[in-house]
Structure 1
Amino acid sequence: MASKYLSSLSKDDYLELTKKLWNIQNHKCFICEEEIDLDLNTTNIDHIVPLANKGKDAEVNFAVTHESCNKSKQDANLKIAKILQKLSKIQKSIQSKTSKSASLKDILKSYNGSKYEFKYKIEGMELKYSFSDIGDNKTYQTPIYTDNLSKEQTCFIEVPVEYLYHDEIINPRGINNSIGKLIKEFDKQNPQLHLSLARIEDDRLKIFDGQHKAGAQILLGTKKLVVRVFLEPNIDRLTETNTMLEYSTANCF
């Protein structure tokens, strides 16, 4: 949808707005976050939130980009385009080093995750834990549930990304293109209907299922994730279940 505001500007006013946004953005493209040289690079001004998504046709909702970035963006929403570009950089960096796709491990590493051990203890049917490494010295506690069929014991906790790791044993798979759809859905504030699943190994909370959903939320700026934690699980059973679930999902209509 065309901008009436931008259309009303004279050439000089448009250039002045470009320079103003350029300074606000520390001379960097809003999408790729690489430097813009106003003397050498062709630029565009675009809405951060599209008018079709009720974005304002005003300076507060404008950003300056390289023209090439704006033309090649994968989404009309500049915020989403910026996130997808960040993900693309992570993917390219990992592929150039390992020839493999990036995984949740690489997203966590890029967003200050996977730094600390999970300090906890089990008392009766309660899990007690703390996040003191990030200055949160409160002792939290949550009930432990026993599944009636598998007899696996689990609990539900909200975990800062600094304490989350990717489980490369149960789920060694990389990120695929489905994460882009999840990013768009979560950005619309649609709810997370399936929690990521994690287990504790070597005092680390490792996500073994739901890495795309976890990654999408982290890329959108989420600092804490609610996860279902399996306590002393049967690893072979979790691996088999996770593999069969992945196969069934890939082959469903």
Structure 2
Amino acid sequence: MAKANVTKKEKPKSLFKISRSILSKLDPSERDGAEDSLWMKSSGLCALCGQALSNNADLNVADHRIPESVSGAGGNVLSNLYLAHLSCNASRKDLPFEVARPIVEFRVFSEEKKSITFDNVIEKYVTKGRQPVSVDRDGGTIVLSFGSDQFASTVSRDVATGTEYFYAEVPFEYVSNDKEIQPRLVSYSHVRRLALDFVNRPIHEPSNCRLVMHGEKAGVLLQFDGQHKSTAQILLGRKTGSFKVYIDPNKAMLQELVVKIQQEIKKQPLTRSDTLAKLGDVISRLLDEYKDAKRTEQGFVAMQPKTERAAIKKLYQQELQRLVFFDGDNELAAFVKPGALGAPTTDRMVIDRMIAPLLCSELLGIDMDASGGRDTERENIIIILNQIVKNMLPPNWEKDPIQKQRTQTFFLGGAIGWWMNELLIPALRYVTMKLKDKEPLLLDALDAGVESKMVSIVDALCMWDVWSTTSVEGLAALRSNTVKNVVSVFSEYTHLRLIKEATS
């Protein structure tokens, strides 16, 4: 997407939205002309991904650089506001701006490239990448020279294989991708999870690479494991990474090691989907016995004894629901997990009435081992759940009487069944063009425009005044478990109305 040259142009009318809640909190001296000031500050570019803002005002938003919830910092002043694509801002979630920006930029880069290798990462993010390293060895000590910097380490020998190795802190400019041993692609979702983990836990176990000598004094460091980990660190601005370095190892031995790391230890898999890598023991054991060249959910269940197929199908579907709920990116789980204070509903209600209806309940005929599919479905569902959190569970929601009432009403048992099945899912089928009831709704990757429409639908649903109702009849219907009761009381609230309000 080309960058916009807008500094010398007037701001087009309604090219972005400042929410009324933000605008009303600005000092009167800043409120007038706020849009013009923000537009000039942005130069027409998304502050998160760096690409041109959309020509559609509904796809651009203004938000706080430092969240309002952070006391004593930022606040509701123009200097703390930025403009971004709606989809980029949704990807930020509650991350600090400086952490979110490189991660969001990488998401856009991944979507544009379709498939990312570690070579692509080095080319885009590492200045003067893939440099050779100078090597000096004196018996059991090895010294690596990275330009004018040196790193000395003690060489050890693996008892089982006789392979020599050492540990080193290596600048990423001197790391190359080992395509021969590890021809993997780099997954945005896995990089994001690791980056967030590095923010909270800076120290991880070392990645693996091999030192291949070219002559007596020069060599290259080829990384064959931990490319996602290195990518995450590079995005966070780290200049070096910790490595276990094998010295001219046997390549066949390393290839066996890679398989062991990926399949037995169950880190990010080479070809297996993220979903399969995390399934419970019972399903994993049964899948290990399913040896077809192309494994599908339909084939997996069909291979089971006839008397057990229904139970295995149910168990597999429960595993898919569990993986969504316990996904590290699912922000709703923290509010409803057992023991959570003031939980607006229960974890079982979220799994059964919110997650299960969004998952495709039919067995799929697509390759279970390929990326995408159920992985993509889970990511899309989490976008929806997190947008509900953003709207219905903002910071200190329990202390705001109005918000507390709206939140508690929204999460009533009958209310969830109504808005999920009668409003949200039909509206999502419209914007995703998945109009048949049994057609998988969220299995496909969404482009930025469709994802933004999906987010807008959730926003519009959460803004409805029905959640503020004090009607005895209305609250009784929303508490009931009969959707028909709710529809009869709130007949004016339909999925067509929701679509119209979200897309107008």
Mapped pair 1:198 → 2:209? yes
Q: Call closer, same or farther: CA 1:232–1:247 in 2, change over 3 Å.
A: same
Identity percentage over the alignment? 21
Q: Secondary structure at the match of 1:107?
A: helix
Structure-2 change in CA distance of 1:55 and 1:69 (3 Å): farther
Alpha carbons 2:210, 2:224 under 8 Å: kept:
yes
User: Which aligned pairs between 1:86-97 and structure 2 lie closer than 5 A?
Assistant: 86-95=105-114
Partner of 1:128: 143
Q: Which structure has the higher relative contact order (CA within 8 Å, separation 6+)?
A: 1
Query: What secondary structure, in the 3-state scheme, does the structure 1 residue paired with 2:126 have?
Result: coil
Q: Secondary structure at the match of 1:73?
A: helix
Letter in 2 for 1:243: V
**Could you tell me which residue of structure 2 aligns to residue 236 of structure 1?**
252
CA shift for structure 1 position 104? 1.8
State the 1:205 CA deviation.
0.9
CA distance in 2: counterparts of 1:15 and 1:171, whole angstroms: 57
TM-score by length of 2: 0.42
How do residues 131-142 of structure 1 correspond to structure 2 at under 5 angstroms?
131-132=146-147, 137-142=148-153
Contact kept, 8 Å, 1:41 with 1:66, in 2: the verdict is no
Structure 2 distance, partners of 1:107, 1:28, is 23
Change (3 A) 1:146 1:60: farther
**Is the CA contact 2:121–2:231 (under 8 Å) kept in the aligned structure 1?**
yes
Contact 2:210 2:249 in 1 (8 A): yes
Aligned residue for 1:150, secondary structure, equals: coil
Paired with 2:32 and 2:50, the residues of 1 have a C-alpha distance of 20
Q: Show the counterpart of 1:179.
A: 191
Match of 2:468 in 1: none
Deviation at 1:144, TM superposition (A): 0.8
Give 1:168 shift.
0.8
1:48-78 deviations in whole A, cap 9, x for unaligned? 3445566823359824123524554252224
Helix, strand or coil at the partner of 1:217: helix
- Give 1 or 2: higher helix fraction: 2
Residues 45 and 63 of structure 1 are in contact (CA less than 8 Å); yes or no, is this contact kept in structure 2? yes
Query: What residue in structure 2 maps to residue 161 of structure 1?
Result: 172
* Aligned counterpart, 2:121: 107
Deviation at 1:239, TM superposition (A): 0.8
For residue 31 of structure 1, report the CA deviation from its aligned partner.
1.1
Deviation at 1:5, TM superposition (A): 8.0
One-letter code of the match for 2:111?
Answer: K
Unaligned runs of 5+ in 1: 96-100
Post-superposition Cα deviations, 1:60-110, rounded to whole Å, max 9, x if no partner, equal 982412352455425222444422322123323433xxxxx2022211111
Opposite residue 199 of structure 1, the aligned amino acid is R
Which AA in structure 2 matches 1:226?
A: S
Considering only CA atoms, is the larger Rg found in Structure 1 or Structure 2?
2
Q: Distance in 2 between matches of 1:47 and 1:198?
A: 41
User: C-alpha separation between the residues in 2 aligned to 1:152 and 1:54?
Assistant: 54
| CA deviation after TM superposition for structure 1 residue 171, in Å | 0.9
Normalised to the residue count of structure 1, the TM-score between the two structures is 0.79
Superposed CA deviations along residues 144-171 of structure 1, whole A, max 9, x for unmatched, are 1122333321111111111111111111
The structure with the greater share of residues assigned to strand is 1
How many equivalent residue pairs?
241
Which of 60, 75, 99 in structure 1 is aligned with 2:93? 75
1:68 aligned partner, one-letter code: L
Question: C-alpha distance in 1, partners of 2:195/2:71?
Answer: 19
Check conservation: 2:65, 2:82, Cα contact below 8 A: no
Q: Which amino acid aligns with 1:184?
A: L
The two structures, once aligned, show a CA RMSD in angstroms of 3.2
**Which residue of structure 2 lines up, in the alignment, with residue 64 of structure 1?**
82
Gaps of 5+ in 2: 1-18, 270-276, 281-504
- What is the DSSP-based 3-state SS (H/G/I as helix, E as strand, rest coil) of the residue aligned with 2:121? helix
Q: Which amino acid aligns with 1:166?
A: N
2:133 — aligned with what?
Answer: 118
Name which of structure 1's ranges 194-203 and 161-170 shifts more when overlaid on structure 2: 194-203
SS at match of 2:253: helix
Q: Which amino acid aligns with 2:198?
A: F
